[in-house]
Amino acid sequence: MSLILYFHPLASYCHKVLIPLYENGTVFTPEIVDLMDAESSAELFAIWPVGKFPVIKDTDRNLVVPETSIIIEYLDQFHAGPIRFIPEDPNEARNVRLWDRFFDLYVSTPMQKIVGDRLRAQDTTDDYGVIEARVNLDGAYDMLESQLAGKQWAAGDAFSMADCSAAPALFYAECVHPFTPKYPIMAAYFDRLMSRPSVKRVLEEAKPYFQYFPFNEAIPARFL
């Protein structure tokens, strides 16, 4: 088995890569990283000194592949399965990459800001930064309500890398900054995403760790 995935079952960016792995039934060795454990953490920093995960190691090719979008492209090119996550057509591919970037930068980033702030000591919280993150999420939700109109998936009719990015971003964003009834199209898309077997499996495996999510009280009952 040549692929080793360094990840944590609760981490949203790890969900982004587990989804395509499960979609295609790609065989890999899971290696859980515990950042609270010095040895486990050192192992991650040794292969990717940025210290962020997930990271994939392909032992057959003696290659370390970090960064979720790069990992998904790598899987698509070198461990391809029936589902392709980046279309062949360059225009469609660019559109998928755009919406992948959108979910990472404009949904995940503000979502993580809000989550991270709850983990800070009381005298170091960043109230203004959290307000800004909520404004940014409102803007992203508004844009998604238009983008998703008439579409099955984020970038069109086919499930793609953009949806792998969207599922964890929206799952955790919905907890920290709930969708309002103003967003029926986005809510319907969210339900389609959450019904996808790969996404269900990822969330099922995250369940034992939900207690460590700082907004665990906001996780909707249907996921518990």
Binding-site member from 5, 6, 9, 11 for ligand GSH (CB under 6 A)? 11
**Cα–Cα distance for residue pair 133/62, rounded to 1 Å:** 39
Q: How far apart are the first and last CA of the chain?
A: 32
Candidates 9-17, 87-95, 143-151, 190-198; binding stretch for ligand GSH (CB under 6 A)? 9-17
φ, ψ of residue 107 to 5 degrees: the values are -115, -55
Length of the chain: 224
For residue 48, the minimal CB distance to ligand GSH (Å) is 9
For residue 200, the minimal CB distance to ligand GSH (Å) is 19
13 sits near ligand GSH (criterion: CB under 6 A)? yes
Q: Which of 166, 163, 2 is nearest to 79 (CA)?
A: 2
Q: Which residues pair with 66 in a beta bridge?
A: 55
**Cα–Cα distance for residue pair 194/197, rounded to 1 Å:** 8
Q: Which residues pair with 148 in a beta bridge?
A: none
Cβ nearer to ligand GSH, comparing 159 with 171: 171
**Cα–Cα distance for residue pair 78/100, rounded to 1 Å:** 20
For residue 95, the minimal CB distance to ligand GSH (Å) is 19
DSSP letter for each residue of 1-23? --EEEEE-TT-HHHHHHHHHHHH
For residue 136, the minimal CB distance to ligand GSH (Å) is 17
Site for ligand GSH in 67-126 (CB under 6 A): 67-68
Cβ nearer to ligand GSH, comparing 145 with 215: 215
Q: Total number of residues binding ligand GSH (CB under 6 A)?
A: 8
**Cα–Cα distance for residue pair 30/54, rounded to 1 Å:** 11
For residues 39 to 68, the per-residue mask of contacts with ligand GSH, x marking binding by CB under 6 A and - elsewhere, is: ------------xxx-------------xx
Site for ligand GSH in 145-174 (CB under 6 A): none
- Given the rule CB under 6 A, which residues bind ligand GSH? 11-13, 51-53, 67-68
